[in-house]
Each structure stands twice: as C-alpha cells, then as structure tokens.
Amino acid sequence: MRRALLASAATLLILGTPAAQAEGRQKFEFWYGLTGQLGDVVQNQCKLFNDAQDKYEAVCVGQGGYDKAEQNTIAAYRSHQQPTIVQVYDAGTVNFLLSGAVYPADKFDQDFKLGIDWKSYYPAIRDFYGTSQGTMWSFPYNSSTAVLYWNKDAWAKIGKTAAPKTWEEFGEDLAALKKAGVECPFAHDFDPWPILEQFSAINAVPVATEENGFKGLDAKLTFNHTIFVDFMKDVKGWVDRGEAKLVTLSSGVNKRDAFANGVCASHLNSIADYSAIKAVAKPDLNFGVAMLPVYKGQERHNSTIGGASLWVMAGKSPAEYEAAAAFLKYVTAPRTGEEYIVDNTGYIPVTTAGQKLVEDNGFYKDPKHAGREVAIASLTASPVGPLTHGIRLGNYTSIRAIVRSELEAAFTGKKDMQAAMDDAVAQGNEVLSRYAQTMRGKTLP
C-alpha cells in the first residue's frame, strides 16, 4: 500500500522544475510551506501528478515554512505575482478569509466541476475551514491533531502497560518514572498549539470570546481565567521537581528528537510527527500514542485540527485555473490524495471516504502505523461545539509568539504563572484590537 518516495529531495526539486517537464503543458504554480521530509512528500506528489498526465504541469515551490508561505503569498499578490494555489496553515485561515484575494473553494469546485463531497470531511475539519454559512473557502489538505507520545518501556519500569488517562495520573506516573531512574520523564516546550489550543478544546474552555473568534472580529482572549493556567502551574511543578524537562531548540534539540532518541519518556506533539519519529528513532524505541489526558471529573471533548489547507488565489488566468482544477481533483481524491499523504506522513485522512480506504487496506493493522488511529478518535470524541471547532483570531501567529514568550518567562522564574498569562492576554488583545481596526468594515464570511 505504501508509496515510497521516489527520489532524494534534491532530485525531486530538479524534477519539479519547468525545464524537466514536457513542453506544451499548461503550467501553474503551487507554493507550499512544509519543509524537510514533509516537503519532500509534497514535491513528490507534484511529480506523481505531472507524470500521470501530459496536459498540465504543477510547478511546486517550497517557501521554507508555513509563516513564509503566507507572507510571501501576500507580498506576491500585491505585486500581481501570486501563485495559483498556496498551502496556508491553520493560523493563517482568518487572514485569507478576509483578504479579498482568494477564489473560494466551494465556488471553484462548482465552476470547474470537481465533484467534491464537502459533507464527507470530518466535522472538526469542515467546521474549522468552513464559513458561518457552512461553505468551504479552502481545500483541506494535511490535517493533524495533538497526541501524547509515550515510551512503553519506560512505563513498564513502573509496572504500567497503558498510557495515563488523567493529568493527575500522568503527574503520579512522572514522579514514579523519576524515582525509577528515568532522567527525563516528560519533555516540555512553549508551543501553544498542544498545551493551550488543544488542551482548551478537549476541556471545552475558551481561549477567547465570540466562540474563539468564529463569531466576529471583536473577540478578546480569556485563557488567563481558565483551567489552562492551573495546567501550566502543574507542568511547572513537574519541571521544578525534575519530573519534566524544558526541551527547546535553544537547548540544541527539540522535544520530538529528545523523545525519539530515548532521552525523554513522553511529550505532547502532533500526530503529523509520527513518521518523523519513526525515521529518526533509535532502533529499539518502543512507543505508543494516546489521547491527551483530561483532569478528573472533566468531560472529554473533541480535539481540534492542525495542519494546512490549499487556497486558490484570485487574479489568475482561466487556463491556469483549469490546470489547478486538475491538480486539486488529484490531491483531494481518496487514493491519489489522502492515501498518499497518510502513507508517507503522520497526517490523518480528512474525509470518511479516505478513512475507509486506508482501513480497508489494513493500514492501522500494520505495526508500522500502530496507534495512529488515536488521532481520529480524539478528533471525533464528541460532536463539534462552540468551543471545540478551533481558533479564528486575526494575526494569530503573533499571538502564539506572545504566549510562547510569556510561558518562557514563567517557566524560567522571571514571572509568576498567573501574571505571565495575564500579560499574554493583555498583549494579545492589543494585537486583536489592531487587527479589528485594520479590518474595519469587514465581517467574517
């Protein structure tokens, strides 16, 4: 079932250039943000599309990161040099919804008769990218959610064979692991996506007012008054007692690699990192995947998605749109799109049809993919509600940076946790106010 990557990254880049393609094809540009091994997967999918037919040519250009893909596209649009398709990550969704620079996906689907069944997308995905009227303005492409990665052999040292289901149990396990001689029971960093956004959704507590921004641009951050602060105080306690370690790039290694090399026994991260962990893990690493725990007495709700979607940019020629339509039909199809992405990454199927296809092919029964079904279970743990369909806040990338900075201040002893989160909310609300002022007169579709 697995489609192996066909060449090295360098070779793929050569194959993806116009000079390497047959003459006479209608070309269009696709800019993407994924890098490293995941970027290679995208580049190879472009090659597979180009090899599958001789009418169109996808010229696929990596932008060196999600942030750069968004920024470069905005700048290119202003100079009328935008790509036809761009991969935009979750935090950039609201900016593109309000940009006036896109060709809405549902209209593109109708105009070019792609025949996409929008209802087949998982509710957590459909709600995240959908408008208030239920229409879709982008094409879900690579979706993920947060999970707990845990070292089964480490947990065996404390007599346990299952991952903890509550944060209370998790804390007890970390203390036991430390006592059993595990140097780093839990690797922690300051990324808000798993510890603020996913934690808040699973516990159905708000990050901001107005349904986390979905209801309007006048939303204000409120996470400094939820159990998120208590959660961060608990994590800091683990760190202070040596039951967890701060593992950031400034320390020379990220938490994923600290887990993969066996130094740390657990961490919270995206299911998208599953294949990367497998690729760099020490040979005898025996790990599992579990849903994020909840506090005792808290009802579990669905987690939200990460990843990115594909946006069609306005202002391109009919011929380029025709070529882009063929590509979008290819990458949204269950077999050439979803199955390919799922096979070669840690991302999940985005539709029920894609999920059925990989299930029927025995994907989850293969030991190489053990535990990856947990991500779907987490995303579908409850019906999507007002506090569990994600975050839709303007300039959210800047807000994430503020939260990171204030968390670092708290964990390094420069600020009290509550004071740090109060400051994060105050600074973040200034960002939101400026964004609302910039977008005055506009409303979310």
Q: How much is the pLDDT for 252? A: 83
Predicted TM-score of the model (pTM): 0.91
Q: Which of 318, 353, 368 is the last residue of a domain?
A: 368
Q: Residue 375 half-sphere exposure, CB side, CA atoms within 13 Å?
A: 28
Token pair, residue 378, equals 């987490």
Pick the closest to residue 303 from 407, 152, 195 (CA basis): 195
Would residue 157 count as lying in a domain? yes
Same domain, 174 and 55: no
CA angle 415, 418, 424 (to 5 degrees): 80
Would residue 381 count as lying in a domain? no
Same domain, 31 and 129: yes
Same domain, 232 and 122: no
Would residue 161 count as lying in a domain? yes
Token pair, residue 421, equals 């989160």
Please report where in the chains the tokens 């939101």 appear, as a residue.
432
> How far is it, in rounded angstroms, from Cα 87 to Cα 64?
12
Instruction: Tell me 305's DSSP state.
Output: -
Same domain, 430 and 342: no
Q: Strand 187-188's sheet: what is its strand order? A: 245-246, 187-188, 266-270, 146-151, 287-290
Same domain, 97 and 240: no
SS3 category, 233: helix
DSSP states along 41-86: HHHHHHHHHHHH-SSEEEEEEE-SSHHHHHHHHHHHHHTT---SEE
Would residue 424 count as lying in a domain? yes
Q: How much is the pLDDT for 45? A: 98
Would residue 2 count as lying in a domain? no
Same domain, 162 and 115: no
What are the residue ranges in the chain where pLDDT is below 50? 1-21
Same domain, 71 and 122: yes
Same domain, 168 and 275: yes
Token pair, residue 249, equals 């790039």
CATH code of the domain containing 131? 3.40.190.10
> How far is it, in rounded angstroms, from Cα 378 to Cα 163?
15
Task: State which residues form the domain around 232.
Answer: 146-303+394-438
- Write the CB contacts of 179 (distance below 8 Å, at least 6 apart in sequence): none
Would residue 265 count as lying in a domain? yes
> How far is it, in rounded angstroms, from Cα 180 to Cα 417?
29
Same domain, 335 and 409: no
Would residue 33 count as lying in a domain? yes
Same domain, 163 and 236: yes
> How far is it, in rounded angstroms, from Cα 349 to Cα 353?
8
Would residue 350 count as lying in a domain? yes
Same domain, 345 and 433: no
> How far is it, in rounded angstroms, from Cα 248 to Cα 65?
18
Q: How much is the pLDDT for 23? A: 67
Same domain, 154 and 254: yes
Cα Rg of the chain, angstroms: 22
> How far is it, in rounded angstroms, from Cα 159 to Cα 181?
14
- Chain centre to alpha carbon of residue 372: 15
The DSSP H or E segment spanning 178 is: helix 167-179
User: How many separate domains does the chain show?
Assistant: 2
Token pair, residue 441, equals 């007169």
